Amino acid sequence: MTGNRLGNTVATAILWAAGFFILGLLVFFLAYILGQGFKVLSLEFVFGPAANGGVGPQLFNTFYILVLSLLFSVPIGVGSGIYLAEYAKPGRLTNLIRLSTECLATVPSIVLGLFGLIIFVNFMGLGFTILGGAAALALLNLPVLVRVTEESLRTVPHAYREGSLALGSTQWQTIRRVVLPSSLLGLITGITLVSGRAIGEAAVLVFTAGTSVSRHYPDFNPLVSGETLAVHLWYVRGEPLVANAEAVAAGSAALLVLVVLFFNLAIGLPARIYQRRLRGSS
């Protein structure tokens, strides 16, 4: 009996230690990244043009490519999520689509980058472009969007659907007016998640959007090459010729993490508040 007790105490201690080690690791990472970054971050650095040692164009490209990639991936991803949650009957086609989604989700991002390179850069002959980068990045977002959509639609009680159908609404009306509004929080959280990942992604973009920025800033032309912040951080590390590469790297790293944090707070939080109002705690 005492042996069991002892084992239990030791195991509990180890589990607590593991939990705190993981938390500590995170705190260290954030503290280090932001601490190093704040020495460098300034308005000039964040928004300034490359000529003045700023990463403004890269920051702009990051958001531009993100928005375009969402434009490609959200309709298809949410659409297939809706299909899986609302229409799909158990069967071969459904199985195949589920399997495809899972497979696409595990394809390494470098492979998606090479696929983009074949299709957009060589096959379509566009060269390195923001458009090609966004399209390749959309492939990375797609499976996550499918899964998040399906999951959040499944949390909507079946009774809502029956209630709506029993009033003589079509399935599409039910989805649009009842199911989607009640799963909005899940959808927005999912898109935030996807965006956070897309912002930090570099491997997909190196050989599709390229590693250089346009001479104009901001340049909305989607057919020019557009280095993003994450790619920039990768690039300066390997280029000893870049002036004060270390400072630029530290600043870019902190800026990337801040942008991801901002996304979670600025989009995730209002969504949560909206949902609470919808659920009617009043």
Partner 1 sequence: MENKFVVHDLNLYYKDVQALRNISMDIKKQQITALIGPSGCGKTTFLRVLNRMNDLIEGVRIDGKVLLDDQDIFGPDVDVVYLRKRVGMVFQRPNPFPMSVYDNVAYGPRIHGQRNKNKLDEIVEKSLRSAALWDEVSNRLFKSALGLSGGQQQRLCIARLLAVEPEVVLMDEPTSALDPLSTLKIEELLRDLKNHYTIVIVTHNMQQAARVSDSTAFFLNGDMVEFGPTETLFTRPTDQRTEDYITGRFG
Partner 2 sequence: MNNRHLNSQLAYDKLFRYIFIVSAVIVGVIIFSIILFVSKQGLQTFQDVSFWDFHTGTVWNPPGQYGALPFVFGSVAVTLLAIALGGPLGLAGAIFMAKVAPPWIREIMRPATDLFVGIPSVVYGWVGLTVFLPIISKYTGGPGFGLFLAGVILAIMILPTVISISEDALRSVPKTLEAGSYALGATRWQTIYRVLIPASLPGLVTAVILAMARAIGETMAVAMVIGNSPQLASSLFAPTATLTTEIILNMGQTPFGSPWNNALFYMAFMLLMVSLSMILLIRFVVNRRLANDR
CB of 169 to partner 1, least distance (A): 4
User: Would you say 215 or 279 has its CB closer to partner 1?
Assistant: 279
Q: Which does 163 bind (CB under 5 to 8 A by kind): partner 2, partner 1, none?
A: partner 1
CB of 48 to partner 2, least distance (A): 21
Give yes or no for residue 3 binding partner 1 (CB under 8 A).
no
Q: Which does 79 bind (CB under 5 to 8 A by kind): partner 1, partner 2, none?
A: partner 2
Peptide bond into 49 cis (omega under 30): no
Site string for partner 1, 107-146 (x = CB under 8 A): ----------------------------------------
The sign of the torsion formed by the CA atoms of 29, 30, 33, 36 equals negative
d(CA 269, CA 264): 7
The answer to whether the beta carbons of residues 209 and 129 sit under 8 Å apart is yes
Site for partner 2 in 119-158 (CB under 8 A): 119, 122, 139, 142-143, 146
Interface residue with partner 1 among 47, 83, 115, 160 (CB under 8 A) is 160
Tokens of 107: 């394809």
What are 34-37's contacts with CB under 8 Å, separation 24+?
34/254, 34/257, 34/258, 36/250, 36/253, 36/254, 37/250, 37/251, 37/253, 37/254, 37/255, 37/257, 37/258
Binding-site size, partner 2 (CB under 8 A): 86
At residue 144, what is the residue type?
V
Interface residue with partner 1 among 13, 105, 177, 262 (CB under 8 A) is 177
User: Would you say 29 or 274 has its CB closer to partner 1?
Assistant: 274
